[in-house]
């Protein structure tokens, strides 16, 4: 069995793609992108691969979910997860230009890999990049399984009323642009920094290392392995570089280049109607599942101002025939736990369902009548198995998923 470092060093978790130079787009030399490409590969019919493209949060590393490689293989899901600019092995790009660059880079990467259609998952500020891609490249969505899963979406403090983050947003861009140094300082001198959302740093929420892992007596070997490799993942992330989190912090706080809003759409309330129009013109529909954390220090808890605002953005009548929107509250999870801390959530069934609904690609959130009791003794790998099988039409979800569901 491979050691943690040997596992992390698997070549499949560090692929390289060089985006060609393009003077018309301001690129005078190739732009290097590191990405992980793992899970199932249909060598005979590669066009039939079920591909999940993942957009991570503030510290968006390609390595975050590599422990699920074997499970993804078993259930025929291929995962593509690139390092964002300035993270890991991907070249740097400043806050003002990184979204435009990513709009060039991601379609080029997918074309390089021979991937025509994708389902998409994102966490926190990764939602900005995911929605920007869908708006400008709706043709990439799978024609039969057009799916977006959003875990703990990033919402500007003006909509949430968060005092701490509104104070952070008022800081000069030069100060916000030092967040990578704070992250490295904490990691080097206090403990491994594993929370990856913007709130961890800008909100000064100090999740410094995985707490003691309480795994029930029937925990699987896979969950134990994930615990074992996590320190090697964190070590590799910081060794390669995390400068990009500073540029992302400036971007998500909309402090970049004097611009108001993201890309050419501004904020979610203006994006969703445009997205519906673009999808309609392209003959596409979209299923959106949003997974909120029960205890979210960034956007608030259930029925909070930020959540209501975000839900309302998706409830626009002109898009109701094109976009199917559902939301769910993940019990006992916080903003970072929804996607990040898989190993320490081995007893938190609901938090893992938020992650695995994306790898299932089209797994529906069950109706409230199907939601089972919160069986905390069930194990993380059992839920991974359930949700990875959910794309199979012969599979019936009998036990449901604990949580609270909403729909517009």
Query: Does pLDDT of 395 surpass 60?
Result: no
State mean pLDDT over 145-163. 86
State mean pLDDT over 387-391. 41
Helix (H) or strand (E) holding 81: strand 77-82
| Cα–Cα dist 351/160, whole Å | 22
pLDDT interval class at 207 (50, 70, 90):
very low
Contacting residues for 249 by C-beta, under 8 A, at least 6 apart: 58, 176, 177, 179, 198, 201, 202
State mean pLDDT over 40-54. 87
**Is the Cβ–Cβ distance between 332 and 350 less than 8 Å?**
yes
Between 357 and 34, the more confident residue is: 34
State mean pLDDT over 104-121. 95
| Cα–Cα dist 383/401, whole Å | 9
pLDDT interval class at 228 (50, 70, 90):
confident
Percent of the chain with pLDDT over 70: 65
**What CATH number does the domain containing 32 carry?**
3.40.50.1820
130: nearest Cα among 324, 358, 350: 358
Give the chain's mean pLDDT: 74
Query: Does pLDDT of 364 surpass 60?
Result: no
Query: Does pLDDT of 365 surpass 90?
Result: no
Q: Per-residue pLDDT tens for 330-343?
A: 777 777 767 643 32
pLDDT interval class at 222 (50, 70, 90):
low
**Is the Cβ–Cβ distance between 356 and 386 less than 8 Å?**
yes
Tell me which of 17-31, 242-256, 376-390 is least confident: 376-390
For residue 337, the model assigns a pLDDT of 67
Task: Count up the domains in the chain and report the number.
Answer: 1
State mean pLDDT over 5-11. 95
pLDDT interval class at 354 (50, 70, 90):
very low
Bridge partners of 148? Answer: 120, 288
State mean pLDDT over 151-176. 70
Q: How many residues does the chain have?
A: 408
For residue 174, the model assigns a pLDDT of 58
For residue 371, the model assigns a pLDDT of 29
| Cα–Cα dist 196/64, whole Å | 10
Query: Does pLDDT of 66 surpass 80?
Result: yes
Q: Per-residue pLDDT tens for 244-294?
A: 888 888 888 887 666 678 999 999 999 999 999 999 999 999 999 898 888
217: nearest Cα among 401, 332, 347, 374: 347
| Cα–Cα dist 20/394, whole Å | 44
Q: Per-residue pLDDT tens for 284-299?
A: 999 998 988 888 877 8
For residue 171, the model assigns a pLDDT of 53
For residue 7, the model assigns a pLDDT of 95
| Cα–Cα dist 380/378, whole Å | 7
- Residue 242 phi, psi (nearest 5): -130, 20
pLDDT interval class at 111 (50, 70, 90):
very high
pLDDT interval class at 234 (50, 70, 90):
confident
DSSP string computed for 92-161? P--TTTHHHHHHHHHHHHHHHTT---BEEEEEETHHHHHHHHHHH-GGGB-SS--EEEEEEE---HHHH-
| Cα–Cα dist 86/109, whole Å | 17
Question: CB neighbours (10 Å) of residue 334?
Answer: 22
Percent of the chain with pLDDT over 90: 37
| Cα–Cα dist 41/220, whole Å | 25
Question: What is the residue range of 110's domain?
Answer: 4-407
Query: Does pLDDT of 376 surpass 80?
Result: no
pTM assigned to the model: 0.77
Tell me which of 8-22, 78-92, 132-146, 376-390 is least confident: 376-390
């Amino acid at each position: 069995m491979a050691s943690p470092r040997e596992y992390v060093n698997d070549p499949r978790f560090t692929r390289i793609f060089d985006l060609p130079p393009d003077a018309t787009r301001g690129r005078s030399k190739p732009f290097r992108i590191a990405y992980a490409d793992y899970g199932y590969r249909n060598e005979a019919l590669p066009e039939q691969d079920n591909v999940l493209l993942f957009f991570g949060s503030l510290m968006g590393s390609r390595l975050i979910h590599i422990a699920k490689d074997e499970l993804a293989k078993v259930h025929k899901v291929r995962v593509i997860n690139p390092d964002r600019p300035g993270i890991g092995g991907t070249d740097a790009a400043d806050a003002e230009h990184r979204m435009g660059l990513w709009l060039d880079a991601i379609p080029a990467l997918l074309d390089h890999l021979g991937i025509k259609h994708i389902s998409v998952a994102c966490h926190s500020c990764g939602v900005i990049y995911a929605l920007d891609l869908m708006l400008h490249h709706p043709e990439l969505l799978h024609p039969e399984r057009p799916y977006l899963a959003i875990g703990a979406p990033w919402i500007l403090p003006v909509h949430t009323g968060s005092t701490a983050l509104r104070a952070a947003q008022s800081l000069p861009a030069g100060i916000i642009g030092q967040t990578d140094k704070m992250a490295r300082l904490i990691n080097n001198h206090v403990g491994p920094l594993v929370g990856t959302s913007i709130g961890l740093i800008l909100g000064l929420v100090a999740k410094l290392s995985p707490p003691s892992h309480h795994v029930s007596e029937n925990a699987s070997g896979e969950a134990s392995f994930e615990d074992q490799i996590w320190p090697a993942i964190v070590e590799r992330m910081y060794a390669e570089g995390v400068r990009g989190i500073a540029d992302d912090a400036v971007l998500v706080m909309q402090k970049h280049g004097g611009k108001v809003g993201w890309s050419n759409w501004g904020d979610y309330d203006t994006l969703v109607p445009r997205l519906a129009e673009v999808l309609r013109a392209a003959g596409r529909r979209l299923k959106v599942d949003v997974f909120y954390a029960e205890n979210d220090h960034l956007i608030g808890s259930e029925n909070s101002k930020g959540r209501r605002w975000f839900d309302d953005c998706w409830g626009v009548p002109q898009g109701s025939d094109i976009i199917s929107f559902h939301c769910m509250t993940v019990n006992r999870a916080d903003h970072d736990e929804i996607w990040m801390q898989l190993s320490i959530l081995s007893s938190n069934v609901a938090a893992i369902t938020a992650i695995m609904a994306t790898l299932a690609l089209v797994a529906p959130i069950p109706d409230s009548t199907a939601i089972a009791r919160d069986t905390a003794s069930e194990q993380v790998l059992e839920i991974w198995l359930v949700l990875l099988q959910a794309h199979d039409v012969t599979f019936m979800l009998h036990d449901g998923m604990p949580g609270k569901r909403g729909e517009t």
